[in-house]
Chain A
Amino acid sequence: MSTVEDDGDTNSIRFGPSNDSEGGSKVVFLLKAAGGAPILKKKKWALPRTKTIGHIVEFLKKYMHLDTQQQQQLFLYVNQAFSPALDTTIGSVNDCFSSEGTLVLHYALTEAWG
């Protein structure tokens, strides 16, 4: 994800047209480890609304050096309850499931909430 930037400024969380002062439209989300998955140093990420969950999964697999030969899988969860379909945009997930301006996604190497 060459477009990912580390947005260290917590005051500039943007989640849609109604709360956007800079004219950008990136979705900021937090990644939290679940089910014994390795903890990422970088927890806060930002992506354009149109990027899909599938895109994030593929990126994280490479970023975390998951073993593609062994077909290691990565699961992303919302509300610690369900996995959005891979062609869902992060914009939709944000619009529907962010809480108080923050979107939290949990990631796991096994089906933590299958």
Chain B
Amino acid sequence: MSTSSIDDKDITRELWQSRLPICFILSDEDMSKVNRSESPEPLYLMLSRHSYFPCIIEKIFRYYSTYYKGNLNDQTNSINLNNLWLEYESIPLKWHYPIGLLYDLYTSSLSSSSSVSHLPWQIIVHLSKFPENELIRFPDIESIEAHYMTTLKEADALKHKGQIIGDMQKRDHKQLWNSLLQDKYEAFWNINIKLMSYTDNLQYFRYIPFRIYILDKPFMQKLFSPYDIEQNKWMTLYDLLQYTLNHEVQCEKLANEKKILNNNIENYRVIIHGVQPPLHSPIQWLSEYFSYPDNFLHICLIENQMR
């Protein structure tokens, strides 16, 4: 795989800087409990695609809680930070998925036409009636950091048998998370570059950390090597997708599932970071330059609508 050139580095910087304009609107239910004369205006924020919603829910809560002065400690009202949850088109949003992933997966899948712009992304803020069975409560910042770190460890387990992250100092781990929180690209990549190196005399990662998301299905994750030794060739995004879909279909058939996944790649749009990368892209390259800060390639497959 080529050593990093100026152009490749530019791509990681572009990705780091990508933002989504989001419009947070209070739910009708909670709107009715507001005890000020004026109703809350929607809250507009530009958020990093690779960040997580819990990183800013205190900000959201502070904004809306000013409209409930006096009600906050009222037990019957249950308006509190703990009960805050976000919804898009009746779907409660998972707190542990990066913001960009949620946007790509849900706005592309639920639109009737791909040309309709979904920006700003309109999200409903709920301050009550937390859907206990569908969602874990938005945890605190420490929990998000723990989630980020464990995901990073899993990625390194796949790439390097965990050797690189295991050898890192705790302060390096902290630097990764803090730079993500504080939006510091250089500080982040100073450490992250170590996780992009090779071990064991390989010229590539042992396995690629990736997850494939299709609406209404649990994500798919498999072992996939970026290089085929026997055929002496680099595996592409297409190869990874075909392998994953075929394997998944095999599993479904063995389990006698009634509905079998469509494993024809032509049936899907493939989206990472809001763009459709060429399917012949080498997967090793994508893993090094197109992963999220958690070192995973989060890939959305959006089924093409029947026309």
Contact = CB atoms under 8 A, between A and B. Distances in A.
Interface of A: 16-17, 20, 23-25, 48-50, 52, 78-79, 81-89, 91-92, 95-97, 111, 114
Interface in B250-279: 250-251, 254-255
Interface in B88-141: 94, 96, 136
A17 B250 contact: yes
Interface of B: 94, 96, 136, 146-147, 150-151, 153-154, 157-158, 162, 166, 207, 218-223, 247, 250-251, 254-255
Nearest to A77: B150
B255 A81 contact: no
B250 to A, nearest CB: 4
A49 B219 CA distance: 12
B252 to A, nearest CB: 9
A20 B254 contact: yes
A96 B251 contact: no
Given A24-B254, A92-B220, A86 B136 contact: yes
Contacts of A96: 158, 207, 221-223
A65 B219 CA distance: 30
Contacts of B221: 88, 92, 95-96
Nearest to A86: B136
Contacts of B166: 81
Closest A-B pairs by Cβ, 10 of them: A82-B153, A17-B250, A25-B255, A92-B221, A25-B254, A82-B150, A82-B154, A83-B150, A89-B218, A95-B222
A97 B136 contact: no
A114 B255 contact: no
A20 B250 CA distance: 11
